[in-house]
Structure 1
Amino acid sequence: MLIKPVPNTEAPLDLLLEADPSADNIRRYLNRSTCCIATVGEETVGTYVIQPTGDGVYELMNIAVAPAHRGKGIGTKLLEHAVNMARELGVRRLELGTGTFGYQLTFYQRAGFRVVAVERDHFLTYYDEPIFENGIQHKDRLRLALEY
């Protein structure tokens, strides 16, 4: 597997939509971000997007693995790559937002991210359609951070 940056015009929107169901949101943050893809042969199997937010802080805006390739450690490798890229850029803190429950929360906490804030009603305010996981609607968003 190879992980490499690509021009934002080549960002795999279909994969990014796996993690963020709003194409408008994705297009907005892609303009100010760095997108990396994971490939196996010629196939793109995963992606992530990070963005500088100022004062030595970056945000992981999106990370996604193609459904047929989940459970193979690709997400973990993508997250490690993002963490290392931020470290190499001299970032002092890498942040992200995620739901208050689900496998994503465990995934990030296992990598050392800690909860730093709760954004009440985030998914109700910023998404036109409700987002459900395991039959439960996402309402609030957790902000997590990894300090360097």
Structure 2
Amino acid sequence: MKIRKLDQNEKVPMELLLLADPLKEIVEGYIDRGDCFVAERDQQVVGVYVLLPTRPKTVEIVNIAVHEGLQGRGVGKLLIKDAIQVAMSRGYKTIEIGTGNSSIGQLALYQKCGFRIVGIEFDFFIKHYSEEIFENGLQCRDMIRLAKDL
């Protein structure tokens, strides 16, 4: 598997990005401000993440997604490790990521990769998304914020 930065003239893998964030307007709002990286296997894009500088010396993974047929096979972990390496090589001191309270698998994965919970934005998904989101039998209401020192 190869992970690389998407070239400016390449098409953004919107269908994958929308797996992690269902609101196209929000994805379009940060895709132009961040750097998009793709994971390829057999010349097919199977994963994606977007890094966005947020504050001095801080960068956030604002979207990370893996093709549904490959989820649970370590691709997400490779993407996170790559994002951490890219952030370190660019001189960032902190990398952040956020996920919904109902994203149980993602919360576990991020913590296994060294991220720690640093805050909760209550009702984030209620305020910013017009349609309700449900995962794992739970309504996604709150944004769980995690960070890792580099």
Task: Report the TM-score when normalising by structure 2.
Answer: 0.95
The equivalent of 1:60 in structure 2 is 61
Instruction: Show the counterpart of 2:108.
Output: 106
Query: Percent same amino acid among aligned pairs?
Result: 39
Q: Who is 1:89 aligned against?
A: 90
Q: Deviations over 1:35-69 (max 9, x none)?
A: 00001121111000000112100010011000111
More moved, 72-81 vs 3-12: 3-12
3-state DSSP class of the match of 1:60? Answer: strand
- Number of residue pairs the alignment of both structures matches: 148
- Is residue 20 of structure 1 aligned with residue 10 of structure 2? no
3-state SS of 1:130 partner:
coil
User: What corresponds to 2:130 in structure 1?
Assistant: 128
Unaligned runs of 5+ in 2: none
Structure 2 residue aligned with 1:4: 4
In structure 2, the residue corresponding to 1:10 is in which secondary structure?
coil
Q: 3-state DSSP class of the match of 2:62?
A: strand
Say what the alpha-carbon RMSD is for the aligned residues.
1.1
CA shift, 1:70, in A, is 1.5
State the match for 1:140 in structure 2: 142
Deviations 1:100-120 (A, max 9, x none): 241110010010101111101
Deviation track 1:2-39 (CA, whole Å, cap 9, x = no partner) reads 10001355220000000000110000001110000001
Cα displacement (A) at 1:99:
1.4
3-state SS of 1:128 partner:
coil
- Give the Cα–Cα distance (whole angstroms) in 2 for the partners of residues 117 and 72 of structure 1: 28
Letter in 2 for 1:7: D
Unaligned runs of 5+ in 1: none
* Other structure's SS at 2:63 match: strand
The whole-number CA distance in structure 1 between the counterparts of 2:84 and 2:12 is 19
Query: Which amino acid in 2 is paired with 1:40?
Result: R
